[in-house]
Structure 1
Amino acid sequence: MAAVQATTSSSDPFAAISAATKRSSKGSAPTAEDPQDRFLKLLVTQLKNQDPLNPMDNAQMTSQLAQMSTVSGIEKLNTTLNSLVDSVGSSQSMQAAEMIGNRVLVSGSQLSLTKGAAYGGINLTAAADQVKLSILDAAGQVIQTQELGARDAGVFNFVWDGMNDAGSQMADGIYRFSVDAKQGGNKVAADPLQIGTVSALVRSKNGFLLDLGALGTVDFKNVQQIL
């Protein structure tokens, strides 16, 4: 009896599909159905040309069909995820656009003194019986200190009237502040928060940045509060 010549894909037609898909990806992109069509054609060819003395067993065929089903499912999942990402991006664009003109509270220690007033915020990780606020000039020198008293844990805002410790009015511009919080003599973690007005949106590779004018740009996801 003449020997039956097996095809090169007799052991794993799925491997042939994978190689063909990689080659075709360098040219025109195949459709989602192409891998399935090629798989079925190769499988039929394999069944026709298999060695009758050593046919493919059911377990092997089931395994290869399961692989094809997995690839198809992954392609559909990728399509769904891409659609979801686009939807989330559009939603974020609309939310960010609605923030133009609003004041926001974000991480940072800058104060923008304008017309004798500067606004900031503090986030205490725990309650404190003493909270001391220090205002610093561009050189890092303390120009005013304020005792804010006892505060509960969480976020609260403050306003600086632009006066230094000597009672002189400071010029409009950018200043900084630091916070020293304690409870029973023990230090309490306090995060400085700066307040700015959103003047524009800046697109970046990771989403949108909010332009806060003199305070610079901040990531949309870092907004703590909209005031």
Structure 2
Amino acid sequence: MKKLITNVALAVGVAGVVGLAGTAVYAATTATSELSQTINAGVLSTDIRDTGDSVVTNPTFAMNATTASTSAQTTTGTFGANDKRIAVDNPGGANNGWTLTLNATTPGTGKWTSGSNTYQYNGNATTGQLTVNPAAGTLTSMIGASTGITLGSQAAFSGTSPVTLISAAAGSDDVWRGYVTGVGLSQAIPAGQAAGTYTLPMTQTVAAI
């Protein structure tokens, strides 16, 4: 009986050895890699955009109508409306801050013009002067925070100097997109100015600091 048991045990042992000898055993391994993605800075820009964020072509901002007078007078208006937003897009193009300014398209020499009739935007209460009040407007951030981004102070045009609408400090978000609406306008009109529909071409400029 012992011999039989031994033989059975040996037979099982031999079968086990054969099985191991015919099987390849591999150790588990891993391999690592790294993906690379470059995001380049975009270009700082400004436009006038509508509620659908499309650029408005040939936008016009009408001052309140007035009546010709033998006395000097003042009319008011608004620069920037919900459907004509004064927009700035900074996709990392200005990391140390930026400014948005407004000026006549031909600084210093531009005039309110209706046919052959003109008056100044950068003179005085007698000859004509345009005052801009950015602080009366509303600043809206679409991308990024408004921290460090401020509206300019009220200022009148003089000489060739522009008026600052928005200033972004160096500590403001490097990637920001937003707009301002409701900037106040006030124009002094000379006494005796002839009736007509006057226009004054303006240009807004955004520049990195």
Q: TM-score range by the shorter chain?
A: under 0.3
Greater gyration radius: 2
TM-score when normalising by structure 1:
0.20
Relative contact order: is structure 1 or structure 2 higher (C-alpha 8 Å, sep ≥ 6)?
2
TM-score when normalising by structure 2:
0.21
